[in-house]
Homo-oligomer: A and B are copies of this chain.
C-alpha cells in the first residue's frame, strides 16, 4: 500500500457529533491524529480529537486553515454545503469523494442512481405539486411516505400518508420542500450492510445486521441477522456494486428491506452508520477504524466477526438506565458525552456481547 498515510498523519473530520467522536477514537488506535471541524460549540468529538475548529461551513478562511493542517478530509454526515467542499477539495483529497455526496444528498438522485445500477428500490416518484402527488398515490396506493429530497434523518422530513385524501395536508407539512413519494414495501425484515472500499479498490463487508426502528429512529441492530445465507451473499454483492460504481473510498451504510422478491434498497449513507455500531465489540476492526483505514489508504480489515452482538440505542431518557446497564454482564457502553439529554436525541448505545453462537 504505497498510499498508506504514515502514523502521525492527521485526518480531518467534518462534523463533531458522535460519529466524528468514534472516528477520532478509531484513528487514535492507528496512531493517527484527528482535526475536527464543527460549527457548534463543545461537540462530542471535541473531547477526544487532537485539534478542534469551531467555525461555520461558510467561513472560507477557517476551512482553508483546517484543510491545510490535515492530510486528508472525511466527514460524519452527508449534508455538507457544496461551497465548503469546494474550498477544501482545492487543498486536500475528500474521501469518500464528491460523487457519493452528490448522489446521497438527494433522495431522488439516489433512487435514480440505484435504479440505473439495476438495483431494486421501493416505487418512488418526484413530487413537485399536488397533481404529481395525487397521480403517484393513485399508482402506488396507500400507505405511502412523502419525504423531503434533502436533509432528512431519523424520521425527520417525512410524512406518512394513509389515505389519498391526506395529500394536500402532507404536502403542506413539508413547507414546499422538493419531495419524493415512496410506495409501501411489505418487508419481512430490515437489514443493513456496512461495506467498505479501500483506495486500491478492495471491498470488505461486515455481516448484515437486522434492524428494528421505532418512530423513524433505529432502536436495535442484531448480529447475526435471521436471514438465509444466500441473502447475506446477495446483500454483500449488492453493496459491492454500489461501492464500485461510485469508485468509493470509505465505509458506506446500505439499508435493505428483505422481501419475498429479494432485497430492496431503502437508502444509502456515505459514512459510518448507526446500524454498524455493533462492530465495535464484534470485530477486530470496527466500522470506524475501517473507514479511517480506507480514508488513510491503509488495508481494510476483513470484516470477520468473533462475537454475537445486539446493539441498542440509548435515546433521550434511556440515559436513566445507564447505572443498570453498566452493571449488566456482557454490556459494553458507548456514551457520546452530550451535555444535554433531549427527547429523541441519541445519547449513546450499548452493545450486548456474547461468544459467537
Q: Enumerate chain A interface residues (CB-CB to B < 8 A).
A: 1, 4, 7-8, 21, 24-25, 28-34, 46-50, 281, 284-285, 293, 298-299, 301-302, 304, 306-307, 319, 322-323, 326-327, 329-339, 348, 351, 353-356
Contact = CB atoms under 8 A, between A and B. Distances in A.
Contact of A48 (B28, B330, B339): B28
Contact of A333 (B1, B30, B319): B30
A306 B28 contact: no
Number of copies: 2
Contact of A33 (B30, B337, B354): B337
Contacts of A285: 332
B7 A293 contact: no
A279 B32 CA distance: 22
Contacts of A32: 337
Contacts of A21: 28
A263 B322 CA distance: 38
A151 B334 CA distance: 36
A66 to B, nearest CB: 17
B31 A336 contact: yes
A77 B323 CA distance: 29
Contact of A329 (B1, B4, B50, B304): B304
Contacts of A337: 7-8, 28, 31-33
Given A7-B322, A306-B307, A29 B293 contact: no
A104 B315 CA distance: 44
Contacts of A33: 47, 337
Contacts of A34: 47
A229 to B, nearest CB: 18
Given A31-B337, A50-B47, A335-B29, A302 B329 contact: yes
Query: Which 5 pairs across A and B sit closest by C-beta, in order of nearness?
Result: A31-B335, A299-B327, A284-B332, A355-B356, A47-B50
